[in-house]
Amino acid sequence: MRGLKAMLWEASVLDPYEGIRFHGLSIPECQKLLPGAPGGSAITAESMLWLLLTGKVPTEAESRQLARELAEKGELPVYATQLIDSLPATLHPMTQLSIGVAALNHDSVFQAAYERGMQKSEYWAYTLEDSLNLIARLPALAARIYRNVYKPGTALPDINKDLDLVGNYTNLLGYGANHDLTEYLRLYISIHGDHEGGNASAHTAHLVNSTLSDPYISYSAALCALAGPLHGLANQEVLRWQLEMQKELGDNITTDQIKDYLWKTLKSGRVVPGYGHGVLRKSDPRFIALQEFCDTRPDLLASPIIQMVKKTYEVAPGVLMEHGKTKNPYPNVDATSGCVLYHYGLTEFKYYTVIFGVSRALGALTQLVWARALGLPLERPKCKNLPSTHAHGSLTRLHPAISMDVLEKLIETQS
C-alpha cells in the first residue's frame, strides 16, 4: 500500500521533499509560533497537542492551562502501578508499555458510555476525554517502567502540577535537574508527535479504533507496531551502530575513516541505520531541527558521539548514492535522536522506543477524535487471491523441499 492514498488524516501531511507539516506549518514555523515552557524555548507537548487537535496555534495561557489539566490527571491508578510492578524486569519496556496502556482501559469513559448506549454523535467527545486522560498518564506509566527495569528500588516523585508534560516526565525519570535534556525532550516529543497516518503505529491506532475499540486498546495496539525494528526500534539500532564504529575507530574519527566504515557495513549486507525513509527523499526536517539544537549546546558540540553523527552526515549520502541501492540516501530523525539521549546519560537502548511511544500519542490519539467526529467507517480493505496453482508453485520455489503432492495433502487435510 506504500504511496496509495487510502485514509483521511487531518492533522499533518508528509511531503517527500518538504517533510512534515502540522496543519500547514513546517517545523521551523512551529518552533517560531508555538509556546514553550517557562524558562525554555523548545515547543511544549501541550502546544503541539493543541495545534494537532484544533488546527490553531495556542496562546501561552492556553498552553499553560492544558499543561495544568494534564498534570492534574497524570497520576496512575493503583491497579496500574500494581500491574506494572508485577511484570518481570526482563520483559521488554515496549511490551510493558503496551500492557499498561491496555490495562488503563479499565477507566475508559468511551467504553462505559458505549455500554450505556450513547449516540454516534457523542463518540468524539468520549474519545477526546479518553485520549487526554491517556496522554496525561503516559509519563508516569513510562517512568515507572524505566524505574522498575533499570533503577529498581528508586523512589518516584509525585506529579508536579506546575510542570508541563515533558517537565514531569524527565523529573519522574530522575533527570529533572538536567534543563538541557528536558528542553531536548520537549523538542523531540513535539516534532515527533505526528508523522501522517500511514506509518505503521498511527495506521494501527486508526484501524483498531475504526472497530470502536476505545483509545486505550487502540493505542496499545499501535505501540505493538511501534515496537518493530523497521519502525520505532530504529534509533537504538543507529546508536548501536555508531558505538560499534566508535569502538573500532576511536574518538578522533575522520570522515575518510567513516566513509570506509560505511562501505564495510554495506558490503557486509547490512543497511546503514538512520538513513533512508519510506516517504522522504531529502534530509528529514526533524533531523535538521535536532542537529540545530545540538549546535546551540557547547557540550553537545564537543561530544564524540555527536561529532560522529555530524561527520557521518557529511559523507553518508554520497556513499549511499554511489552504492546505488537506496532511494533516499539522506538521514531521518533516528540518525541523531538516540545519540543525544546517550550523551545526556540516558544510555538504556531498549527504552528509547518508549519515549517515541509517549510522543507519538499526541498525533495518533488526536486523530481518533477526528475519525469519530467525522464518522469514518470500519476499515476493511478488499483482498485479491492468486490462482491456487500459482500460490502453490510460489511455495515450492521458496522451499524446494516441499513437493506439490505434499502441499496438496496438507491443503486437503486443512480443508
By annotation, the residues acting in catalysis are 231, 277, 334
DSSP code of residue 349: G
- For the record, the C-alpha cell of 262 comes out as 560505511
State the helix-helix crossing angle for 352-373 and 215-226, rounded to 10 degrees.
140
Looking up cell 546505488 gives: 324
| Cα separations in angstroms, 383 against 1, 320, 380, 386, 389 | 12, 36, 9, 10, 18
Give the bridge partners for 14, in sequence order.
20
Burial of 337 (0-12, 13-18, 19+ CB in 10 A): buried
Would you call 297 helix, strand, or coil by DSSP? Answer: coil
276 backbone dihedrals φ, ψ, rounded to 5°: 95, 160
- For the record, the C-alpha cell of 166 comes out as 515533558
The span from the CA of 21 to the CA of 12, in Å, is 6
CB within 8 Å of 61: residues ≥ 6 apart: none
Count CB-CB contacts under 10 A for residue 143. Answer: 22
331 backbone dihedrals φ, ψ, rounded to 5°: -75, 145
* Nearest-5° Cα angle at 237, 225 to 134: 35
Reference 331, options 285, 398, 388, 380; nearest CA is 285
Torsion sign (Cα): 254, 260, 262, 268: negative
- For the record, the C-alpha cell of 11 comes out as 492533522
> Are the C-beta atoms of 180 and 36 separated by less than 8 Å?
no
Count CB-CB contacts under 10 A for residue 112. Answer: 13
Reference 73, options 146, 175, 168; nearest CA is 168
